[in-house]
Each structure stands twice: as C-alpha cells, then as structure tokens.
Amino acid sequence: MVSLADMRADALAAFEAAVDAVRPENLVPSQISRFGEKVLVGGEPLPDAPGRHVVMAIGKAAPGLAAAWLATASGWTGEILVLTPHGVPASFEVEAHATILRGAHPYPDAAGEASTRRLLEVAATLGDNDLLVVLLSGGGSALMAAPEEGLELENVRATTKALLKAGAAINDVNTVRRELLAAAGGGLARAAHPALVRTLILSDVLGDPLADIASGPTVPSPTTAGDALAVLNRFGIRESVPGPVIAHLEAAAPRTADDSAWATTTSTTILGNNRTAVDTTATELAARGYDVDVVSNPLEGEASERGCELGIAARTRESRAPTGVVLGGETTVTVRGGGRGGRNQELALAAAIEIAGAGNVVVLAGGTDGVDGLSDNAGAIVDSKTFERLRRAGIDPAGSLAGNDSATALDAVGDSIRTGPTGTNVCDLTLVLTAPTNE
C-alpha cells in the first residue's frame, strides 16, 4: 500500500527530475555541437561570419547557458556578456570568460537599465561581417530594463507592478512592455543590424510565442502601442499607470514600424520548454508505478481557482491504482491582501482546503526557476492532512488564502518547497497524485 509519505517523496522526485532535464548543462549538449571551426545548432552550422563573434546570454538561466556554450564553443566566441538577476550564481569558468551584468526580477531596477544599455551599445558596434548569438531565457523582460526615450525606469516599474497586481497574464504584460523597453520587440536585433543574429531559447512561455519570451528582443513585435493601451483599459488600470506611459503609448499608437530589413537577418531555435519538463515528470512518475495522465491544455487563470478545481477533481477521483496527473502552465494571482506568497503556493493552499481528509491525495505546484512570487520558495507540496496541520498551528487556511499569505501558512507546516534559484526557467509544473487507501 502506498502511503502519503511515499507519494510526497515521489512527487518531489518527479519535480526534481523535471528541473534537471531543463537545466542548460543537460539541454545544450543535445542541441549544440562543434565540428572543426564550425558551431552546429540542431545539426545546422551557424553562418560564416569573418568578423566578430559575440554571445549575449540573458535571463534567469543565463549563467548556465553561458557555461554550456563555453564547454562547446569557447574558442569560437570572441566576447560573452551575461545578464542575469542579482544573486544568481555564475560558475568560475563563466566569471573568468564573460562580462557579468546584473538586474532585478520581477521588478526592474537601475542596474538592469545600465546593463541593458551596455548590451545595446555592444550590439550597435556590430557590422555586416559579424554574428551575434543570443542565449535567451525567462526573466529577460524585467532584466532588460532600459526604457524607451522619453520614459524613466520608475514609469516601467510602476506599470509592471500595476499589471502584475491586476493579475495580467504574461502575454498581456509583454504587450505593454514591448512598447516601453528599448531592447524589447526586436530592439536588440535592430541595434545589431546589419549583423546576423541567431537566438537560442530556453522558453518560459507556453506555446513558445517568440515575441513573449523575454519580450522578444530579437524578433518583430506582433502588437502595437494601441494594443498596449487596450490591455491597460481591459484591466482597468489606465488611471493608475504613470502619465508619461500613457502619453508615450498614445503618441506611438498611430505609427507602424517597418521591421522588414533587420528581421531578415535573424533566426531562432527553441532549446527546451515547458513540455520538456512535463514529459520528464510523467516519465519519472510512470517509473515509480503511477498511471499517468498528461493534460495537454496549459494550466492558466487565477491560481486559487485552479487549485480549488484540481482539489475537487482529486477528492472525487476513484482509482484502483496510484494515479498521477501532470499539468504545465503558469497561473496568475490578483493581489487583494498584503501577505507573502506566489502563484504556486496559492494554488497549493487552495487545493489543500479542498482535499482535506480525502485520503491519499498529494498536490505539488512549483516553479522550475525555484522562485515563486515574492517568496523564497519554489512552490509547495500539500496533502489531505495539510489543512489539519494548519489548523493545529493556529492558522486559518481560508483567511491565509484570502490575504494572499500562502507562503507564511505553508512555511509554518513544512509544506513549502525550497530549492533556491535553479538556473533554469520553463514555467511551472503541477502534479496531482491519488492512490487507494486500501489495495
């Protein structure tokens, strides 16, 4: 008979296996190789460029991507710049061979603005004999904080905060950010033109829409300033956004950018994504004896609502063998309280309320980057006894959920998952495990 303790261990092991599978050191060797003087991506050589070879690694996984690149193509690369969040470690090899730039996430800071200016300045020195390789991962939108002319960093910060607090999904947030940030919406590639640009992506956006991954610094934007204004109106935050942002968007709305020239000199390859992590999770659970169902539709929407739905489904599921449901996605949180937490912990707490006393049920929700919202946790793992543990600790689960204080509650009963920054980022994973109480 499988126990709750066994199921919790299985869920954590599957989550860890998934994160390992999408670490740059495991992904890059399968996609990038060296053949003599040439570097091959997916078996195809990078174009010949007799001039400079510059690599820019950007995002939460940037140090790992740079390290994996160095292991494959160090002699080929002339200059490497790495932009990653404060506190994300870089290996000795990367420190020795690259310029390390820093910025803040999820809200941009002055360091990120200065770092982005440096990237744009280097890109602008490239010519038609040069090649720029961009190793892109999630978190790049916040890191590349240099605003467009006429805007200040605080304008971007305030707008980002308003969007996230309102529960805007990543595509809506980036529709706005692409109009406010100098390097977004193809800005980095425009600066590098006429150099060739090749972008290799560790995708943190479901479906891999290129313009939404780090706000698309090397691809044309599919949206306009008018679309950005429509997002602000839809979420009812136009009045709370700084005036210069509205003025910038209104002035830019009638214009249509001509991206035809530089867009023909860029190309993109996806190295790994959320599906990579989901499939690894399913494989690991199957190896541990679970009948596994992978949900094809992405897990999106309000975190607490999705957690409630998953909890109800798990509580009412009848099975004669251990079963696992694996979902990939990224939910959102509409902030109404002043607590501490993140979307994964909020989803888990909502599920814990629904599965209270339901027998052998475990729910894990975690961010593959190791960071969930404004907390130190990657997410949480709850079971049918979590609710009881919370009450014994003097915590009102429903009150904690309403106050967006899931991290405080789940920390108190040992149900938080703490990995630290993982060096990768491909959205979130949610696992729902059930088993009969008697076999």
- Summarize pLDDT for 265-320 with one digit per residue, the tens: 899 999 999 999 999 999 999 999 999 999 999 999 999 999 999 999 999 988 78
Q: Percent of the chain scored above 90 by pLDDT? A: 84
Q: Percent of the chain scored above 70 by pLDDT? A: 98
| Best CA proximity match to 315, nearest among 369, 260, 360 | 360
Q: What does the pLDDT read at residue 303? A: 97
pLDDT band at 1 (very low <50, low <70, confident <90, very high): confident
What pairing do the DSSP bridges indicate for beta strands 196-202 and 266-272? Answer: parallel
pLDDT band at 340 (very low <50, low <70, confident <90, very high): very high
CATH of domain 4-16+275-435: 3.40.1480.10
88-92, 168-172, 212-216, 330-334: lowest mean pLDDT where? 168-172
What's the whole-number mean pLDDT along residues 166-187?
93
What's the whole-number mean pLDDT along residues 250-272?
81
Q: What does the pLDDT read at residue 276? A: 95
Rounded to an integer, what distance in angstroms lies between the CA atom of residue 63 and that of residue 294? Answer: 31
Hey, what's the torsion of the CAs at 371, 347, 279, 374, to 10 degrees? -10
pLDDT digits (tens, 9 = 90+) for 110-151: 999 999 999 999 999 999 999 999 999 988 999 999 999 999
User: Which pTM does this prediction carry?
Assistant: 0.86
Residue 439 predicted with pLDDT over 60: no
Q: Report CA 222 to chain centroid distance, whole Å.
A: 20
| Best CA proximity match to 224, nearest among 249, 197, 248, 247 | 249
Q: What does the pLDDT read at residue 403? A: 96
Give me the residues paired with residue 367 across strands: 428
Topology alike, domains 4-16+275-435 and 23-146+181-221+257-272? no
Domain limits, the chain: 4-16+275-435, 23-146+181-221+257-272
| Best CA proximity match to 303, nearest among 247, 341, 275, 337 | 341
Higher pLDDT, 166 or 305: 305
Q: What does DSSP assign to residue 432?
A: E
Q: What does the pLDDT read at residue 320? A: 85
What's the whole-number mean pLDDT along residues 51-68?
96
On whether the CB atoms of residues 178 and 185 are closer than 8 A, the answer is yes
Task: Give the CA angle between residues 294, 325, 360 to the nearest 5°.
Answer: 165
Q: What does the pLDDT read at residue 258? A: 61
Q: Which CATH number fits domain 23-146+181-221+257-272: 3.40.50.300, 1.20.1630.10, 3.40.50.10180, 3.90.226.10?
A: 3.40.50.10180
Q: How many Cβ atoms from other residues are within 10 Å of residue 350's Cβ?
A: 26
Residue 365 predicted with pLDDT over 60: yes
Cα–Cα distance list, 223 to 31, 174, 417 (Å): 31, 10, 37
pLDDT digits (tens, 9 = 90+) for 370-393: 999 888 999 999 999 999 999 999
Q: What does the pLDDT read at residue 257? A: 56
Residue 260 predicted with pLDDT over 80: no
If you average pLDDT over every residue of the chain, what do you get? Answer: 94
The runs of H, that is alpha helices, within 166-224 are 170-180, 187-192
Q: What DSSP assignment string belongs to 263-331?
A: HTTEEEEEEE-HHHHHHHHHHHHHHTT-EEEE--S-B-SBHHHHHHHHHHHHHH---SS-EEEEEEE--
Radius of gyration (Cα) for the chain, nearest Å? 22
